[in-house]
Structure 1
Amino acid sequence: MTADNTLLVQRQNYRSPDFAIDTVELEIFLRPQDTEVRSRLTLQRLNPSAKDLLLDGEGLELLSLSLDGKDLSSDRHSREAGKLRVKDVPEHFVLESRVRIQPEANTALSGLYYADEVFLTQCEAEGFRRITWFLDRPDVLARFTVTLHAPKVSCPILLSNGNCVATGDADNGWHWARWEDPFPKPCYLFAAVGGSFHVARDRYRTGSGREIGLELYVAERDRDACEQALQSLQKAMAWDEKVYGREYDLDRYLIVATDSFNMGAMENKGLNIFNSKYVLASPETATDADYQGIESVIAHEYFHNWTGNRVTLRDWFQLSLKEGLTVFRDQEFSADMNSRGVQRIGDVRRLRAAQFAEDASALAHPVRPESYKEINNFYTATVYEKGAEVIRMMHTLLGVEGFRAGTDLYFQRHDGQAVRIEELLDALATGSGRDLSGFLRWYSQAGTPRLKADGHFAAQSGRYHLRLQQHTPVTPGQEEKLPVPIPVRLAFFHEDGTPARLPDGQEETVLLLEEASGEWTFGPFAKPVLPSLLRGFSAPVLLERGDAEAADCFLAQHDDDPFNRWDSLQRLAQKTLLASIANPGRSVLGPELQAAFAAALSRPLDDPAFSAELLSLPTEESIGQQMDPIDVDGIHTQREALRRALGDTFAEDWRRLYHDLAAPYRRDGRAMGSRRLRNLALYYAMSSAQAEETQGWAERQYRSADNMTDRLAALQLLAFSPDYDAMPLLNDFYQRWQSHPLIIDRWFSLQLGRAVPETLQRAQELLQHPAFSWRVPNRVRAVLSAFAANLPVFHARDGSGYHFYGEQIRHLDDLNPQTAARLATVFSRWSRYDEAHQRQMRTVMEELLGKDRLSRDLGEILERSLGGSEKRS
């Protein structure tokens, strides 16, 4: 059986809704196996020619249906392909329905579901139709009143959007709570929660003097892990007031944490539901990266209150309108809270790893896609991270004041509306007085542009001549590519490493390349200069320099832009590795790279976090992006050889850093950076000729660590070492932390990083472990994502890694199609490998396509990955 041929939803076919829903009254009687939902909708016709009302629904058992208080006979309504047709409705009317749903059987975790003895909802993108019949689309905004009923013992806490206006007890040990949301919202922002929780509370006073109650709902075992989330929320609220003038609009802000959640978090109005990973933290249980991730994701969901909730989407093709803009906002927040340079490096590393890879695969698509079969498949790095980069480019051109003027106008014009990306660009353009229409091409074209830079210094005139050219390669379904506006931040340096001022006295300027090519002349300069291009990664492009070798060697040591210095050193390392992969007999550590590392190690403690970034090797995935075909084994072998060469060459530096940076635990930016640099030193030291001695360092660090960052770093290095038996330490780790699900997720992943054939058998064993559960997405990802990230094992030449992974995707698709589809995207770059690997991957994907009851989610990913034909509406 092949994937279904459901017609594509296409952006060009958008139609305004035929009906508006003014108010929604819901009564939900929560039972794990048998929940009843009563709905009362007040509607009005918008399209005079629309006689029938079509509502969305999925998996609903209809118990009763009435219009204006009268039961509808069977000839007045019908069911058809996920729709309920109510025939011949009046202009204004009230529709009431009763349906039965089964939350406990809802393993897809979409709609209302029951997991870990708690009732939860996830309605984005189209989950509300699994709760009741509705116009499930983002451009239908309504005011909701929700009454939740449940047994008081098992569900003492009942939450929904807005304000709690009444509570009471009922017969048979039940109780109820009524919530009213004063703000119209689309149904994808609806939320309801019922269960038993510990509640951590705090307050926030807004700039206008309003007191906001902050409430964090977690499992009782996690009562001591709430401080970071509440502090992050307070910081985000203050930052949004200061930077964007946006104040929170309800009296309470609620966050619920759960292990059973497909996504990272969801911005439901006033009631955010979070994956526990992005809420819970204490030094004993969370790493420094966890603390930073919590701060970022808490802020992201809070910022959605205005960029996504108060101003929402006309249709799902506009998804980046809220996500790209909000990712940019959370990145800027994190940059202000921490190191701006280190934050930018992290942002770009994630962009290149996920989005550039996506652009280079069969799944390439524009920031605003033109069609989809399953909207869940477009929650992608392109929509989020590349969308954020498009916003960043406009911010770069407009400046802080111009961008703020534009966003102020955007909120003023469109508060309470469902709009398109065009409305945002128009507000930014009007508010700043600058034409931004060319940026719509970034939203409509897939692919990563190539920016070629050629320049030379003319000694006679003292001027530097620069020529820039852009080209975007063909992507699936898009043969023709037009030029896009590319802002290029630029500075110059003299040969001695000192900055060269431009004639206007500035050290930096921004060029805008809008056509296929452009030329600029700078100077005069008294001495020869070399440009630092694309500073801060001012545009999401691949930079190709005519003078790349000389520029990378120079800028890796002298550039004062943190991102460009890091990027230059990364390119030097990649060039060295690619050469050694092509010629395995040559030296893997060339003099240029050795000099760049020596310079980075000359003053490593000036900024330990930046030094740790600077001294990190390119990932195996990033090296593979530079190869065609990708040589997985060659990449792994040569990267490990470079690690050993650096470990031996700078052995005394690693030893000194490791011992000098030992310190009691503190949680501030510098201490976090120092821990990261110390653990990087251990990483290199353990690959040196003194490996046996340094393994002893790691063992002692694991046993004596006063924080999870150091304990986990040591355990990972030992677990990934092919010549070390880490099982006694892994068993010890499990015994210590078996009651903490998030930590045990790490325990599962740690056992799958060793690049040896036996890792496949270990993955099979872990799927049978008593602590493994297919119903918990975090646990599933802990095994399958970690296995796929082990490239030599996943890409084993006999295809065993692919077939194992495909079997798990097949099983998961019956339980949780969203998670199955996301995990299956690792196959999308199959064409970048040699013929043997291609054949194995194609076989697995084709077998999955023949699966009985193949989900729309997984089917679309497989079809697009294989380049299958699409039926268009």
Structure 2
Amino acid sequence: MADVQRPDAAPPPIIRRADYVPPAWRVPEVALDFMLDADETWVRATLSVVRADSGAGMPLALDGGGQKLVSLRVDGVPATWRTDGDRILIDLPGNAHRIETECVIHPATNTQLMGLYASGGLLCTQCEAEGFRRITFFPDRPDILSRYTVRMEADRATYPVLLANGDRINGGDLPGGRHWAQWRDPFPKPSYLFALVAGDLAVNRDRFITRSGRGVDLGIWVREGDLPRTGHAMAALKASMAWDERVYGREYDLSVFNIVAVADFNFGAMENKGLNIFNSRYILADPETATDADYDAVAGVVAHEYFHNWSGNRVTCRDWFQLSLKEGFTVFRDQQFSADQGSAAVKRIEDVRLLRAAQFPEDGGPLAHPVRPDSYIEISNFYTATVYNKGAELIRMMATMLGWDRFRRGCDLYFDRHDGQAVTCEDFVRAIEEGGEADLSRFRLWYSQAGTPRVTATLDHHGTAATLRLTQSLAATPGQPVKQPMPIPLRVALFGAETGRRLGEERLIVLEDAAAEIPFEGLAERPVLSINRGFSAPVIVETTRPAADLALLSAHDDDPFARYEALQQLMLDTILADLQGRIDHAPVIAAMRDVLGDAARDPAFVAEAVLPPSEAFVGDHLPAIDPEAVHAARERLRAAIGGALVDDWRGLHDRLKAGAYELTPAAKGGRRLRTIALSYMFAAGAADAAARAWAQFEAADNMTDRQGALAALASSDAAERPRALAAFYDRYRGDALVIDKWFSTQALSTRPDTLRAVIALAAHPDFTLANPNRVRALIGAFAANQRAFHQADGQGYRFVADMILALDPINPQTAARMVPPFGRWRRFDPDRATLMTAELNRILAVPGLSRDVFEQVSKSLA
């Protein structure tokens, strides 16, 4: 175990789920009065507080975070109080009081981007998870639900638009060029859902009529020049509202729904009641500046934040350990929505690829934690793939086991029973259980046990019968050395080895115990196993299916995900065999040729299927990762596929050249497959690859084609490479979201000099640590580049560690998100492990390290 110590101070306290106690005081009503200014904002708060049943003899505790307290009065009289760290404690004699505070805050210097801060001339808020305490003193916990009335006053010329939660109820002009507005949110909400925006904004307005006939005014607020790029987001919002009514029976409840896009934002977006605040990258889209993936992301994130109106706002979390209550459920809902809007098969493949890239490594490393964590030091560190994406898979498994109708009855019961409450994951499972008339007592283990289960599957064939033998295991994770078997729903089918036809109906097998045997009868030919179809469970399935069986499934399986999975497994097996000195690319090439036959019918699916497993995914299947060896083996496979099928790739690249730009599933699939064909031509060393890439780059009428060509050139030695990078930058200089693509494309390059290029880019005039998007585009992308980050001399580690240390005083949340790649040091050779732990210890030794980074680093070393 590596040495873990904090030289400058005692370790920060650990918050434990088991220590939860209900609030001693409730706050039914909150009135806030803001005198807004970027340099100095005055905040007057009036809290109506009521002692809770559990609060006998307890003081009122108000959380704070760096603001200056000017005055504090209780029932109109100056109060006495004491401090406990950043908290104010007030001993109150009665059961109901009025608390008045006046504070001063400084938005312009708030680089953490939590609370009220300045961004590009705007004033805006981010209060999840614990940002509201940086605005005013308040019992800042999610189980305090209050009705808010907000008055804002500001200079009209600087801040002509004043927005807050709920409905605007009053406003007007004031002397001296000032004005004011008052907003009222009629629904009780926790403080983390408070929102305020002030600035010079233009609006795209629309209207939605709910199924009960109510009109809802919609507005997307952006800078004037960005207004033409808001149409897709507005269409997605209206589609989301209609979808939630149709699929879940949930109608919007206010008369106004506003979205504001800001440039500086730690997250993707925030679901504040009636006033969603978005990272601009998830609102702005047009063909010239946004890829097809960007369009899909905008629609998915808009849907996600809108769906939170019920799964997160009307029913919210009791405490932050229950974060997946809202996030896991809402990710599942936005995945359903996106699947309904386009190709369900491609969407499922994308979701699983993300889960395997982000969550499986998290489950297998030092930062592993249950979907419902047991403890934390800094809650911002638990906005993780486990809470979000694995949490969504838990919801999906319940829906799979119960069937849609029973699952929907459970959801209806959950919303009806807990509307206006702050509840737990257990409350959700109980509602699904009761509404769906199911026993989910064993399933609850999925919420409390960390780690990714492994399922071994062996199919023994004897005559006209077969036996499927299944076992499950779950490795030890930090704090959980012993695990219990969990219910694992596996969709299973058999296919004939000679005919490729399905043998009987698909079966849903729920593996409840450590092992099980499942008989199959009446088989007319040797069966080939198709298992975990649709990725029905977030598990690793280990089978011994030969290459011929995988090729058969990739050609004939009637479940699209299973077809994709078979070809992926075939490519993975081939790369792993190569790493052991057994090189045979022929089975993959033959299977790939068959799959390409579907390109005209379903280019989007083919584009997903023909991509080889990522280097990181390959590494996860090795006892110790050798990044250079993995890169070389994967490149040999790509070269073999590219070379053997070069005429097919060339033909696809010609045939898929589109006419007028369309944003249809078929057009998007064609663009993606065309760029993949180009990448295979580069892998094959085709003489015309660079010229084709340059021609695609120059002729592109959309960002998908242009960036696809740029990415292919960026990883090459072609003479066109520097010309394309310069042309891209010159075309889009000043457009921050597109320049982010320019940075990330170079950071993800597979060239051996990528580290040197990234170090130079960190000194580029357009690079800044103040903008989280820019940090993620360069530093985050580089850390995800397995070969470059894990350069044998350790300079990649040194560079990222330097960036973490530079960023921590500015924005500790974003800095902490750069730490996890170091935590995988145990998966690499001893030399790299030593270099990674040395950087972690170097970070830990710095005085004044934030709680965010301290927690990530100390857990990575433990």
Amino acid at match of 1:224: P
2:528 equivalent to 1:533: no
From the superposition, tell whether residues 399 and 496 of structure 1 become closer, same or farther in structure 2 (CA, over 3 Å): same
Q: What is the alpha-carbon root mean square deviation over aligned residues?
A: 1.3
Give the equivalent residue in structure 2 for 1:698: 693
Give the equivalent residue in structure 2 for 1:490: 492
Give the equivalent residue in structure 1 for 2:641: 646
Give the equivalent residue in structure 1 for 2:229: 225
| Match runs of 1:351-370 below 5 Å | 351-370=355-374
Contact 2:548–2:587 at 8 Å: present in 1 too?
no
Amino acid at match of 1:682: L
2:816 equivalent to 1:828: no
- Unmatched segments (≥5 aa) in structure 1: 868-873
2:167 equivalent to 1:166: no
Contact 2:410–2:431 at 8 Å: present in 1 too?
yes
| Match runs of 1:27-42 below 5 Å | 27-42=33-48
> What TM-score, normalized by structure 1, do the two folds share?
0.96
Task: Provide the rounded CA distance (Å) in 1 between the counterparts of 2:196 and 2:359.
Answer: 33
Task: Provide the rounded CA distance (Å) in 1 between the counterparts of 2:651 and 2:73.
Answer: 77
Return 166-175 or 610-619, whichever deviates more: 166-175
Corresponding residue SS for 2:82: strand
2:59 equivalent to 1:52: yes
Task: Provide the rounded CA distance (Å) in 2 between the counterparts of 1:445 and 1:654.
Answer: 45
2:105 equivalent to 1:98: no
> Per-residue deviation at 1:122?
0.5
Amino acid at match of 1:538: S
2:264 equivalent to 1:260: yes
| Match runs of 1:557-572 below 5 Å | 557-572=555-570
> Per-residue deviation at 1:767?
2.1
Amino acid at match of 1:527: E
Task: Provide the rounded CA distance (Å) in 1 between the counterparts of 2:810 and 2:768.
Answer: 11
Q: Give per-residue Cα distances to partners, 1:23-55, cap 9 Å, x unaligned.
A: 000001111111111000000111352342111
Which among 679, 686, 696 is matched to residue 683 of structure 1? 679
| Match runs of 1:274-313 below 5 Å | 274-313=278-317
2:255 equivalent to 1:251: yes
Q: Give per-residue Cα distances to partners, 1:761-817, cap 9 Å, x unaligned.
A: 322222222222221110111110122123222111111111111011001000000
Q: Give per-residue Cα distances to partners, 1:375-429, cap 9 Å, x unaligned.
A: 0000000000000001000000111100110001111100000001111111111
Amino acid at match of 1:557: A
> Per-residue deviation at 1:581?
2.0
| Match runs of 1:25-424 below 5 Å | 25-46=31-52, 47-72=54-79, 76-424=80-428
Task: Provide the rounded CA distance (Å) in 1 between the counterparts of 2:852 and 2:749.
Answer: 31
2:839 equivalent to 1:817: no
Corresponding residue SS for 1:687: helix
Amino acid at match of 1:792: R
> Per-residue deviation at 1:338?
0.8
Contact 2:711–2:749 at 8 Å: present in 1 too?
no
Corresponding residue SS for 1:564: helix
> Per-residue deviation at 1:547?
3.4
Give the equivalent residue in structure 2 for 1:738: 733
From the superposition, tell whether residues 765 and 4 of structure 1 become closer, same or farther in structure 2 (CA, over 3 Å): farther
Contact 1:154–1:196 at 8 Å: present in 2 too?
yes
Which among 693, 697, 720 is matched to residue 715 of structure 2? 720
Task: Provide the rounded CA distance (Å) in 2 between the counterparts of 1:350 and 1:255.
Answer: 27
From the superposition, tell whether residues 212 and 374 of structure 1 become closer, same or farther in structure 2 (CA, over 3 Å): same
Task: Provide the rounded CA distance (Å) in 1 between the counterparts of 2:365 and 2:403.
Answer: 34
Amino acid at match of 2:602: D
2:617 equivalent to 1:622: yes
> Per-residue deviation at 1:756?
4.1
Task: Provide the rounded CA distance (Å) in 1 between the counterparts of 2:533 and 2:674.
Answer: 28
Give the equivalent residue in structure 2 for 1:603: 598
| Match runs of 1:577-616 below 5 Å | 577-583=575-581, 586-587=582-583, 589-616=584-611
Contact 1:205–1:211 at 8 Å: present in 2 too?
yes
Amino acid at match of 1:235: A
Task: Provide the rounded CA distance (Å) in 1 between the counterparts of 2:772 and 2:621.
Answer: 32
Return 572-581 or 59-68, whichever deviates more: 572-581
Give the equivalent residue in structure 1 for 2:16: 10
Task: Provide the rounded CA distance (Å) in 1 between the counterparts of 2:259 and 2:283.
Answer: 9
From the superposition, tell whether residues 864 and 272 of structure 1 become closer, same or farther in structure 2 (CA, over 3 Å): same
> Per-residue deviation at 1:500?
3.4
Give the equivalent residue in structure 2 for 1:871: none
Corresponding residue SS for 1:500: coil
Using the aligned pairs only, state the percent identity: 47
Corresponding residue SS for 1:499: coil
Contact 2:128–2:192 at 8 Å: present in 1 too?
yes
Task: Provide the rounded CA distance (Å) in 1 between the counterparts of 2:359 and 2:512.
Answer: 23
Give the equivalent residue in structure 2 for 1:870: none
Amino acid at match of 1:10: R
Give the equivalent residue in structure 2 for 1:442: 446
Corresponding residue SS for 2:444: helix
Give the equivalent residue in structure 1 for 2:522: 524
> Per-residue deviation at 1:2?
5.0
> Per-residue deviation at 1:570?
0.9
- Unmatched segments (≥5 aa) in structure 2: 1-6
Corresponding residue SS for 1:536: helix
> Per-residue deviation at 1:722?
3.3
Amino acid at match of 1:765: A
Contact 2:288–2:701 at 8 Å: present in 1 too?
yes
Amino acid at match of 2:664: D
Task: Provide the rounded CA distance (Å) in 1 between the counterparts of 2:719 and 2:447.
Answer: 49
Aligned residues: 854
From the superposition, tell whether residues 326 and 3 of structure 1 become closer, same or farther in structure 2 (CA, over 3 Å): farther
From the superposition, tell whether residues 755 and 610 of structure 1 become closer, same or farther in structure 2 (CA, over 3 Å): closer
> Per-residue deviation at 1:336?
0.8
Return 559-568 or 43-52, whichever deviates more: 43-52
| Match runs of 1:500-519 below 5 Å | 500-502=502-504, 507-519=505-517
Task: Provide the rounded CA distance (Å) in 2 between the counterparts of 1:499 and 1:79.
Answer: 73
Corresponding residue SS for 2:229: coil
> Per-residue deviation at 1:644?
1.2
Contact 1:2–1:849 at 8 Å: present in 2 too?
no
> What TM-score, normalized by structure 2, do the two folds share?
0.98
> Per-residue deviation at 1:498?
4.0
Contact 1:647–1:684 at 8 Å: present in 2 too?
yes
Q: Give per-residue Cα distances to partners, 1:455-482, cap 9 Å, x unaligned.
A: 21221xx222112111001111111100
Task: Provide the rounded CA distance (Å) in 1 between the counterparts of 2:61 and 2:745.
Answer: 50
Q: Give per-residue Cα distances to partners, 1:580-617, cap 9 Å, x unaligned.
A: 1232xx53x42221221111122321100001111111
Corresponding residue SS for 1:425: helix
Corresponding residue SS for 2:23: coil
Return 552-561 or 256-265, whichever deviates more: 552-561
Q: Give per-residue Cα distances to partners, 1:55-103, cap 9 Å, x unaligned.
A: 111101000000001112xxx2022211101123421000000001111
Give the equivalent residue in structure 2 for 1:672: 668
Task: Provide the rounded CA distance (Å) in 2 between the counterparts of 1:573 and 1:476.
Answer: 32
Amino acid at match of 1:448: T
Q: Give per-residue Cα distances to partners, 1:307-355, cap 9 Å, x unaligned.
A: 0000001110000000000000111111111111111111000000000
Q: Give per-residue Cα distances to partners, 1:610-632, cap 9 Å, x unaligned.
A: 01111111111111111121010
Task: Provide the rounded CA distance (Å) in 2 between the counterparts of 1:546 and 1:582.
Answer: 17
Return 746-755 or 174-183, whichever deviates more: 746-755
> Per-residue deviation at 1:557?
2.2
Corresponding residue SS for 1:823: coil
Give the equivalent residue in structure 2 for 1:451: 455
Task: Provide the rounded CA distance (Å) in 1 between the counterparts of 2:83 and 2:774.
Answer: 38
